[in-house]
A and B are shown apart, each in its own frame.
Chain A
Amino acid sequence: MNSTHFPVYILLILLITAIIIPLKKGRYDGLFRIEMSIALGLALLLSFILFMDVYRTQAFYYTFGSWDSTIGIQFLVDDFSALMTLVVLFVATLIIIYSLRDIEHEIQKEQLFSYYSLIFLLLFSMIGMIFTNDLFNMYVFMEILSLTSCGIISIKRKKENLLASFKYLMLGAIGSVSILMGIALLYMVTGHLNMLAVRETISSVWQLYPRNILISLGFILTGLGIKAAIFPLHIWLPDAHSNAPTPSSALLSGLVVKVYVFAMGKILFRVIGQDIVKAILVPDYLTYFAATSMIMGSVFAIGQKDIKRLLAYSSVAQIGYIFLGIGLATELGFSAGLFHVISHALMKSSLFLSAGAVIYQTGKRDIRNLDGIGYLMPVSMGVFSLAALGMIGVPGLNGFMSKWYLSLAVLDAGKPVFLLVILISSFLNSIYYLPIIISAFLRDSKERENVMVIDNLPKSMMIPMVILSIACLLTGLFPNIIMNIIEKAVPTFIL
């Protein structure tokens, strides 16, 4: 089957589902859930077929309306975007299946329809951002993403949620305007908005207007830095991710932030090109920001007492890893960064979902109250422990493999000092994850006897968690499945 139109179909399925949901003013019942799951499943299936097709044959361009690429909107469907779409849809499907039961406890009944509508729009914009090859189109999708992610945070009508999402909205707006400014400056000198066209003209433009391109790069990097939460610009992240309902936190931490990282990768390597980027020493300071992120994220996490806030700061640290990989501006570094994107998506979603399960069943959020919970909820804490061990870097799990690849990339690029930073950061990770696992399984709970029972969770909540953690284990034992694809895709990406 010719999968040429599949990107459009995937986007349309998500968009149509998002539009139909508010029309169904019926009850939030089984039929509704089944319909949503079918829509997601269909999108996942299509993306899988698309991925297999693109992997076997070659990348292709999809121009909307058959306009010429310089004036129309173009999607670039290659190994890379197909793989990322598949990962995004896979993780998102699992999170949404989890949320079908969980969300009733967190938000009011009337908001449920709006919530799912927002989630589908969020997925729509994420996949759009992954595929797009046009700068302004990327900005449009980015705006939709920004608004919908604010929506899924503030849907819970509590004071701190509204405050957090307001902060996110404001900072996101500053970020978006920054990016728009950068895009406008680029358009001003190159006259194109299509990424490929810009790339072709940029080498000649660089001689004529270097300052222009540099200022635009500065704006774009800072704007994307806010949205992707690099260290000093991460300020919206802890409040937003910790106060949101659990599925939203998982989606935001695991997927949304990564899409901005792709956008940065695309701009740095597809638009501006590796030569210019290296000439102006972007790798140098991007990696310094990344290193600060890695350490400071963990430092702040050690001081946290609420489990979701701790996971949010841990995200900041892990995003530092990804930026280290991308910021090295070499092929190995980029592959390592991408591998960590995928493994972090899996691990962080498992962590948030299991923390959410604990909150769902027992209402406990403070890590000091989690004594003996491993006996009450062994499946959730088992998932949590597996993912946390992956974060620390125990071999056999995907976190270890991404640290391994990242370290090799760092040495290959000739900056051995970051090796030390990676390892110190891993040790700091263990300082805050291990006590949680230890107190869950090894301390006697004050309320009940330590006899192991199965969690009292609905199946639709347990199964996605378990699938995600098994995926962590599988990608940890057989990372080649993913690394081969990434290594095949990266040279064409960096061009």
Chain B
Amino acid sequence: MKTKNILAPKKLFPDFFCVNCVIVFVIYIVMLAVLILASSIGFGFLPEVFDGPRSIIGKFITLLADFKPLPLLVVFLPLLGGPIEAFMGKRSENLRDTMVVNSTFVTFLLILLMYPHVVQGDLAYTIPGVMGYGLSFKVDMLSYIMSVTSGVLWFFVTIYAHDYMGIEHHRNRFYLWMSITFGGILGTVMAGDLFTMFLFFEIMTFSSYMLVAHNQSRESMLAGNSYIFMGVAGGLCILLAMILLYAYTGTLDFVPLAAELQSLGWIKYVMTALFVVGFGIKAGMLPLHIWLPKAHPVAPTPASALLSGILIKVGAYGILRLSLSIFMPNLSEITGFTDPLWIVSKNLGFMIIWMGLATMAVGVFLALQQSNMKKMLAYHSISQMGYIIMGVGVASYLGYKGGMGFAGSVYHIVNHALFKSLLFMVVGLVYLRTHELDMYKLGGLWRKLPFTAMVCLIAALGITGMPGFNGFASKSLLHHAIIEAYEYGHPSFRYAEIVFTAVSAGTVCSFIKLFGLVFLGKCPEKYKNIEGEKGMMDLAMGGLAILILAIGHAPNFLMEKFIIPSARTFTYEAAFIDKYLVNINFFNYLELIGMVWVYALGALVFAFGMKLNLFHIHMYEWLDIERSIYRPMYRGVVSASKGFTNRYEVAIINSDVVIYSFILTGVLFVLLRFA
């Protein structure tokens, strides 16, 4: 396995990739600063800026923003760019990487350009006739949030990937499939009806399989197998549900359909279950999560960052989108919170909340048991997805008053994307330098990798929910949401809040463990002389860290500009939104005290755990869902087929005339009873 060792040369800046990345990054920071300045002063001064000497730019921007097939362009730019980049890669690695970064940045800019029309609410584009049903793209605020997040993530990951991929082979293939996955994700979140979403969902599943199985090592192939088979099964469940929906309601658009669904009886529960299972497989919801801890560690780190960062969110996005449109009634049809049209939403939400809670708990518990850093992060992804799924559950459970749950889950999608990919990047850099993934064998790396340690601390504080970092805002929203579920809904959710707090404490504990074991303490002998930081990787990690800090210090910015407008487009009670969500004060006293308790509990659990060696418990074998349910099922099917074939195939072939006469008499007998 020959790898081109591009890490060896010591020259730093003559590399035009680095120059290009620095330039692009600076442009990005400038844009960010302008955005923040503009929104704090008010967008008023922007037209003046654009009218003056730079009016050409202004006109160009308006021209692009008004370009009707803009969503199509955004989706196809990475889809078509992928093969071109792979082709370029045969000539020059640097050229290819530069092209990837630039095309990702251009796509990101195009996504940003969609903003004016998204705010107006009329960004929709349909291509009739394709595949019989027609492709349609419709970008509302929720889709916009998802696409901006994926754009940001992809931008940083591509800068990071250049240096990391030096240790992998078949790099062209990796970039090809990464770009195609980007196109697939953008298509899925910007889809205007279920059919388009399904098309891009399948494209996304198959192309991300290539990322998971990239290493071609034995674990990668096994992980890839479970990933693709579960992905195909999930896709088929969604297809079945789509067909039922189309046959019974005649439409696949994302429109409120609760009124039509009400008359369908038990079919609507079948549909709901199928949709939840199908998207849940992608999201890593509890009984269907088994592919995740296998797939995310074996993928190359940039791919893990993307998989954990945005791909599993697409599953949650699917469930959210469904509960917001198909199971939600029209604003004009309902009378309020207790209208019976909410019943499907309510039952759906109840189930999803509990599954989310279970996912959270199991994820954290298993994460604490891991010593492989990437596997631990993968289990944390499952746990955080549990938070998001719980938020989605509350949003549909509380129906009319579900604004808080909606806001919490969407906010957490954005936040988790940022800090989880940052964490994966940190782990990737550590692996690049030390070739070691076991955190118990590392230590004291802060001396050699100071910037990485700082960034890791920022991300860890983010994920655990320290005030001042972005996780705090979304976790407090979700906390409020679960309390509301208890107040307005079923009393059993009292225990849900306890589970929530315990899981947060577990998360704290786990990240104390990670940070402490990897960066603090004594450095083992063999790592005393590893090389230091890597320029471009630090750039990418720094970019994400800046975003985490920015959102953490001004959590209301995202709420005002993106989340609340998106909540208003759905059937949520406007008064509720105004009262609880607008101008919410995140830094209130109760929340801060609550966080102190959580941190104290977490530290306590950590101390106990290290003392009593609780972090190495081996669970009973029968509790492992994979071993007890999935593997027997799969093996059962395959071995049943093979056994059946071996025994009966020859027998059937040799008994041809017998079969014919048997069938003939059977058919005649059946037919003749009508005579």
Report A's interface with B, CB cutoff 8 A: 167, 170-171, 174, 178, 210-211, 214-215, 217-219, 221-222, 225-226, 232-233, 235-236, 238-239, 279-282, 285, 299-300, 302-304, 389, 392-396, 401, 403-405, 407-408, 411-412, 416, 419-420, 423, 426-428, 430-431, 434, 438, 442-444, 450, 476-480, 483
Within B625-645, which residues are at the interface with A (CB < 8 Å)? 637-638, 640-645
Residues B675 and A233 in contact, CB atoms below 8 Å apart:
no
Q: Which residues of A contact B668 (CB under 8 A)?
A: 214-215, 218-219
> Does B244 make an interface contact (CB < 8 A)?
yes
- A405 to B247 alpha-carbon distance, docked (Å): 11
- Interface CB pairs A-B, < 8 A, 26: A171-B656, A174-B660, A210-B675, A211-B672, A214-B675, A215-B672, A218-B668, A219-B668, A225-B663, A235-B653, A281-B674, A282-B671, A300-B649, A303-B642, A303-B644, A395-B202, A401-B132, A403-B239, A404-B132, A407-B247, A408-B247, A419-B243, A438-B221, A444-B216, A479-B132, A480-B129
Instruction: Verify A302–B645 contact, CB threshold 8 A.
Output: yes
Q: Given A233-B660, A235-B656, A444-B216: A396 and B131 within 8 A (CB)?
A: yes
Any chain A CB within 8 A of the CB of B530? Answer: no
Residue of B nearest to A434 (CB): B228
**Also in contact, A171 and B660, with CB within 8 A (given A303-B641, A304-B645, A396-B203):** yes
CB-CB under 8 A for A395 and B199, given A221-B667, A423-B240, A426-B236: yes
Chain B residues lying within 8 Å of A431, measured Cβ to Cβ, are: 229, 637-638
Q: Which of B236, B646, B674 contacts A303 (CB 8 A)?
A: B646
* Known contacts A236-B656, A303-B642, A401-B131; A411/B664 CB under 8 A: no
Q: Does B670 contact A (CB under 8 A)?
A: yes
User: Which residues on A sit within 8 Å (CB–CB) of B199?
Assistant: 395-396
Given contacts A285-B670, A395-B202, contact A430 B229 (CB under 8 A): yes
Q: Are B660 and A300 in contact (CB under 8 A)?
A: no
Knowing A218-B667, A412-B247, say if A427 contacts B232 (CB, 8 Å): yes
Smallest CB gap from A286: residue in B? B667
Whether A232 contacts B667 by the Cβ 8 Å rule is no
Chain B residues near A285: list those with CB within 8 A: 667, 670
Interface string of B229-255 (1 = CB under 8 A from A): 100110010011001101100000000
Does B82 interact with chain A (Cβ within 8 Å)? no
Asked whether, in the complex, the Cβ of B132 is within 8 Å of the Cβ of A232, the reply is no
**What total of chain B residues lie within 8 Å of the partner, measured CB to CB?**
52
* Interface pair A300/B656, CB less than 8 Å apart: no
On whether the beta carbons of B202 and A411 are closer than 8 Å, the reply is no
Q: Which of A304, A395, A419, A476 contacts B240 (CB 8 A)?
A: A419
> Is B297 an interface residue, CB under 8 A from the partner?
no
With contacts A171-B656, A419-B240, A423-B240 taken as known, whether A279 is within 8 angstroms of B246 at the C-beta atoms is no
B221: chain A residues at CB < 8 Å are 438, 442-443
**CB-defined contacts of A395 to chain B, threshold 8 Å:** 131, 198-199, 202
Chain B residues lying within 8 Å of A412, measured Cβ to Cβ, are 247
Once the chains are docked, how many angstroms separate the CA of A278 from the CA of B221?
Answer: 50
* Residue among B637, B663, B674 with max Cβ neighbours from chain A (10 Å): B663
Q: Measured between alpha carbons, how far is A232 from B657 in the docked complex, in Å?
A: 11
Residues of chain A within 8 A (CB-CB) of B229 are 430-431, 434
Is A222 in contact with B660, judged by CB distance below 8 angstroms? yes
A210 to chain B: closest residue by CB:
B675
B145 at the interface (CB under 8 A from A): no
In chain A, what residue has the closest Cβ to B2?
A449
Residues of B close to A483: CB separation below 8 A: 132
Task: Judge whether B243 and A477 touch: CB under 8 Å.
Answer: no
Q: At the interface, yes or no: B659 with Cβ under 8 Å from chain A?
A: yes
**How many whole Å from A179's CB to the nearest CB in chain B?**
12
